[in-house]
Amino acid sequence: MMLDELGTRIVIMGPSGSGKSTLAVAIARARGLDVIHLDQLSHLPQTDWALRPTDEFTALHDAAIMKACWVMDGNYSRLLPQRLDRATGFILLDVATVTSLYRYIWRCWFGRDRRGALEGGRESVKWDMIRHISVATRANRSRYREMIDRIGLPKVLMASHGALGAFYRANGLRR
């Protein structure tokens, strides 16, 4: 599927470290869309990933999806129904767990200007995150694979790093 078929409000989901934020920035730049990183809405800037109060995050999320044109990366399944109600297209990145782990550790150690990072936040390897990627991601991958079949929007499933690279090339996107 070509990017134009996904419209002007695109949801990107997938495991941590799968490339959601990088893809969102590339799409936003190529199509003139606002980029919205849900991690930045869910967490407080200038912190080591401290969560915002739930009602504050929900209000920020709901305001963001009311914009006319956007590409939004992040999972936050609790708020997915209203996000999908506004979306015109859906992308699911489903990379291998080992790829997610590698990319998470690499970005913590070397990703100084990582897309989607918290303003003034610190990136550091956290055992909770490694456990989340190693354990929770497997269950989420199955759930997301089942979910994508029920989504009635134009959609793309990229199940490998190679498929993601092919999508970039086919759509003239730059990382």
**Domain range list for the chain:** 3-170
List the alpha helices (DSSP H) in the chain: 20-31, 38-42, 54-65, 80-86, 97-110, 127-131, 137-150, 161-170
Pick the CATH number of 3-170 from 3.40.1190.10, 3.40.50.300, 3.30.70.20, 3.90.1150.10: 3.40.50.300
Burial of 14 (0-12, 13-18, 19+ CB in 10 A): buried
Mean pLDDT of the region 25-37: 96
Kindly state the tokens that stand for 40: 């930045």
AA identity, residue 172: G
Burial of 72 (0-12, 13-18, 19+ CB in 10 A): buried
Using CA atoms, how far apart are residues 24 and 78, in angstroms rounded to an integer? 20
Residue 65 or 146, more confident: 65
- Tens-place pLDDT, residues 74-129: 999 999 999 999 999 999 999 888 888 888 888 777 766 666 655 655 677 788 87
